[in-house]
Amino acid sequence: MENKIIDGKSISSQIKAEVKTETDKLKSEKGITPGLAFILVGENPASKVYVKSKGKACEELGFHSVTETLPENVSEEVLLELISKFNDDEKIHGILTQLPLPAHLNQQRVIESLNYKKDVDGFHPLNAGRMVLGEKCFIPCTPYGIVELLKRSNAETEGKNVVVIGRSNIVGKPVANLLMTTKFNSTVTVCHSKTKNIKDISSRADILIAAIGKANFVTKDFIKEGCVIIDVGINRIEDKTKKNGFRMVGDVDFEDCFDKCGKITPVPGGVGPMTIAMLMKNTLDSAKGLIYE
């Protein structure tokens, strides 16, 4: 059973250990400490948890980090001023404005206000465009984590048919564009809510990436024998057998698909841990000047 499971916890731990080694070397040889600034707007519980987890990872790896918390009703002007301050701070190599933002703030304007050389989330249009062109850039952390899972689990991408279910700007679109570059050479089809015959299309995939946000949406009828499944979904469903009354599941029905697939990521413990690991990797690369001089 174990050789089928793509263990995101284990792989993310490997990556963080590599980042820690490189960080220690950067600090001792050049006196540079990777610095990451977090901006948290409002009281979104999930956002608070994510920022806390990212801050903890910074501490473990020896990064310098700072978290600025702003009220829910903060003006866009105040938020942009804070971003500008971090843009100019030489000790900060990466800036992360935790999404989603409150509705009164223009999310795209906020993203575009970041110095693209510190955009370790990979959401700035310049980084997005460079990724499509196959040029050096910051890659969005979840798609970056997905391709690392594929690579480190020895899943071949070149010439393979990849189906991505979901077209979000955070996962679906960037991972599709990434896998089409000459680094991976996959043939990619993107399905979404308006796609007809999703089941038929996905059943031809060598690699299926599910990022649609619907619990247990993908069943064994969606997949072909031996395919590789990357489940990006995180959904909470009722489970009275659990103390808290719910459990977390992905967009893929894990138990239904397990016997038929070749490899699969679990939820939790698959893609999730990789997102933070790749954020740390992006920040280290920024501090080293590997992406932009």
Describe the crossing of helices 8-30 and 141-152 by its angle, rounded to 10 degrees.
110
Q: Is it true that the peptide bond before 143 is cis, omega within 30 degrees of 0?
A: no
Residue 183 is among the residues annotated as catalytic for this protein: no
Catalytic residue among 7, 121, 206, 285: 121
C-alpha dist (Å) from residue 283 to 67, 88, 93, 190: 15, 16, 6, 29
The rounded distance, in Å, linking the Cα atoms of 150 and 165 is: 17
Catalytic residue among 16, 98, 173, 251: 98
Catalytic residue among 16, 54, 160, 263: 54
Residue 121 is among the residues annotated as catalytic for this protein: yes
What is the number of alpha carbons within 13 Å of residue 94 lying toward its C-beta?
34
Beta bridge partners of 189: 163
Q: Which residues of 154-177 are buried (b: 16+ CB within 10 A; e: fewer)?
A: ebebeebbbbbbbbeebbbbbbbb
Specify the 3-state DSSP secondary structure of 207.
Answer: strand
3-state helix, strand, coil in the chain (%, to 5): 45, 15, 40
Catalytic residues: 54, 98, 121
